[in-house]
Chains A and B, each alone.
Chain A
Amino acid sequence: MKKRLVLLTTALFMLSAVFSISLYPASGPGHDTAVKTEQAADIHSADSAAGSHAGAGIHHAPHIDAKNLSLFWIIPFVGILLSIALFPLVRPHFWHHHYGKVSLFWGVVFFAAFTAYFGISTGVFYLLEVYLLEFIPFITLLLALFTVAGGIQLKGELAGTPKVNTIMILVGAVLASFMGTTGAAMVVIRPILKANEWRRNKVHIVVFVIFVVANIGGGLTPLGDPPLFLGFLKGIDFFWTVTHMLPLVVFCAAILLVVFYILDSWYYSKEDNRPAKTAGNGRLSIAGLPNIILLPCVTIAVLASSMNFGDAFTLHYVTVPWASVLQVGLLLIITVASMKITDTAIREANGFNWEPIREVAKLFATIFITMVTPIAMLKAGADGPMGAIIRGVADNSGEFINANFFWATGILSSFLDNAPTYLVFFNTAGGNPLDLMTTHAHTLLAISAGAVFMGANTYIGNAPNFMVKSIAEENGVPMPSFFGYLFKYSVVFLIPLFILVTLIFF
């Protein structure tokens, strides 16, 4: 039934695409939809004008005029985000089996309403723009990073002392910025759990892995965390992120690691069945060398997308550059190469399977398309339907308040997925990458840090949080409940840290 539904929807999308392409010469000014859409002459989208890596030149493309749109248009976007946030907590079995259908539901509801209101040509244009220029590069990057990370294994008969635990979390934090927080968390969590198997008090260790490895460690590069990669796709320079985020990531990670070391030492001193010192030789080794070599290849593939090799093809106003095609191609080659060269024992040790990527693909396919209207509304500015959000992060003279951006992005990222939240505030700040990297660099920094760091505030803030929790529980760690995590750990350790970050950096 599910397969049939997916097939049917795919067929509908494809048909509508073909239909609209064949009608392309007929559509245009004077067409019915022109009332609601803008056929801007020689429009390059703001993204491409500013040098987006997704970089399409979109000529005469139908754009929606969001100034007078009803807020009802954000319902599918909010619906999918709330589904992701709430179902795993309240109906985990249902969600596990039917998340794809729920996602498809919101996607179809949105697309059906969108095409009915704006016309099929506009609908197909946005569908192609979103999937060709954003979703496909996004999912192929995550696929490559996840596959490569799943082929790397940390090994060692470790003793689970405060020193060893701190070093392992530090290693995970460093890895996170190069293989993504999901990959790094997957690589690090099992060795940490194994090293601490004998310990009675180990919940805090897992919590700090979530803080540092699954979130803050990923703040350094666009490879580290999906929000930053979305920023990269929107035109933010790879090395802008590295250089600007470095002080914040180092500051937060250093403080958390010091706090962790003190806390872990205290808990360690209370353990009464410590193993003999010979139990662990303290040596940490890494298996899966070929995949370590593939990691910089992922960076190269991503950087390749910011070069100008001209346009590959245009489909219904959407021009896909060769650089984007090259990136996707290279990432797929890296994925296949990693699968071929990796010892299956390493993947088994990491508990590797394709389910996480399937989940990201199914859910983000809907998130990306349903974001079209909220982002257009934000781009409509302070007088647009979502002007209240924009006015909430700016002072009377219209100047952005960076601390507000940090906390607004952060608080929303704590409860909704941080990648779309980042894009919402990216567009709230104008959505112009050149402006955001220069004049409003601190605003972009606040948005980036808020989205990446505060994903650690709750289990639902960032996808790897749940993965780490789940693996820890299956290894006998009594992880706290949603509110237990929030009030015993986030409020105690993270919120004071973020207040400090606000005072120092924003």
Chain B
Amino acid sequence: MANKKYYELVFEGRYETIAGMLEGFVLASGKKWEFWFSRKVGIETETFAEAILEWGALKSRLHHVILEKEFHSYLQRMIAKRKDLKLIRPEYTKSAMEIKTASFKFEAKAFAKKYGTEIKGILAKPPVGIKIKDYKPHEEIHESAKGVELYAPDHDYTFTAEGIAIGEFKAILDFRKKLDDHPLVDVSTIRLQF
């Protein structure tokens, strides 16, 4: 589980066709393989043309999908065997790269000790396979700022933190979701290293 390898594949085609193909393939195989469309789970897609298309809200025909290595290998083998198919063809797989590591940046801001402690707790023990880099937590306590204020608002407690989480793809994907689900933490998209 810990050392599973993942590939980023770029498929050309319609999203529904690709998603349907992958789901059908998983169903037919009887395996519990997983796959993720990069855009749906906050993974940075790297081509400039795609970024422009995305920016212009135009649909891209290139779809970045992350697959387990076993799934990827099996799929490519099967596709290569069936060159007679019309919608699923080997040339529609534009690239396949093994993911070495994945990373994302995070920022947190909390104004109550309860939430500061909660966030510190999450960041203090990252899941196996993840390291936190450039972690800069900062805690300020101003006892005099306790209570309700109108014109001179100030918080008696402030916690800020920022850093980079880096590690194995699946662990990073889950950890990013965990942080993203916390309302006081902002996360960037996941950057893949190949």
Inter-chain contact A353/B147, CB cutoff 8 Å: yes
Inter-chain contact A355/B154, CB cutoff 8 Å: no
- B155 — which chain A residues lie within 8 A by C-beta? 470, 473-474
Inter-chain contact B183/A466, CB cutoff 8 Å: no
- B183 — which chain A residues lie within 8 A by C-beta? 200, 202, 476-478
Interface positions of B from 153 to 174, Cβ below 8 Å from A? 153-155, 157
Give the contacting residue for B151; candidates A200, A463, A471; CB below 8 A. Answer: A463
Inter-chain contact A99/B152, CB cutoff 8 Å: yes
- B152 — which chain A residues lie within 8 A by C-beta? 87-88, 92, 95-96, 99, 359
A471 CA / B145 CA spacing, docked (Å): 12
Q: How far is the CB of B116 from chain A (nearest CB, A)?
A: 10
Is A469 part of the contact surface with B, judged by Cβ < 8 Å? yes
A352 CA / B148 CA spacing, docked (Å): 7
A476 CA / B144 CA spacing, docked (Å): 20
A478 CA / B119 CA spacing, docked (Å): 14
**What is the interface residue range for chain A against chain B?**
20 to 34
- B114 — which chain A residues lie within 8 A by C-beta? 476
- B149 — which chain A residues lie within 8 A by C-beta? 96, 355-356, 359, 466-467, 470
- A200 — which chain B residues lie within 8 A by C-beta? 181, 183
Inter-chain contact B154/A92, CB cutoff 8 Å: yes
A200 CA / B183 CA spacing, docked (Å): 7
Inter-chain contact B148/A355, CB cutoff 8 Å: yes
Is B85 part of the contact surface with A, judged by Cβ < 8 Å? no
Total number of B residues with any Cβ neighbor in A under 8 Å? 22
- Interface 0/1 of A172-204, CB less than 8 Å to B: 000000000010001000000000000010100
Is A360 part of the contact surface with B, judged by Cβ < 8 Å? yes
Inter-chain contact A476/B110, CB cutoff 8 Å: yes
A176 CA / B77 CA spacing, docked (Å): 70
- A473 — which chain B residues lie within 8 A by C-beta? 111, 155
Is B49 part of the contact surface with A, judged by Cβ < 8 Å? no
Is B128 part of the contact surface with A, judged by Cβ < 8 Å? no
A477 CA / B154 CA spacing, docked (Å): 16
Is B106 part of the contact surface with A, judged by Cβ < 8 Å? no
Q: How far is the CB of A353 from chain B (nearest CB, A)?
A: 4
Inter-chain contact B115/A476, CB cutoff 8 Å: yes
Is B150 part of the contact surface with A, judged by Cβ < 8 Å? yes
A182 CA / B149 CA spacing, docked (Å): 10
Q: A351-B147, A473-B155, A478-B109 are in contact. List 13 more A-B contacts (CB 8 A).
A: A84-B151, A92-B154, A96-B144, A96-B152, A351-B148, A355-B150, A359-B152, A360-B151, A464-B150, A470-B148, A470-B155, A477-B183, A478-B183
Cross-chain pairs A/B with CB under 8 angstroms, 15 sampled: A88-B152, A95-B152, A99-B152, A351-B147, A352-B148, A363-B151, A463-B150, A463-B151, A464-B150, A466-B150, A467-B149, A470-B111, A470-B148, A475-B112, A478-B109
B residues apposed to A, CB below 8 Å:
109-112, 114-115, 142, 144-145, 147-155, 157, 181, 183-184
**Nearest 7 pairs of A and B residues by beta carbon:** A96-B154, A356-B150, A353-B147, A463-B150, A359-B151, A473-B111, A470-B153
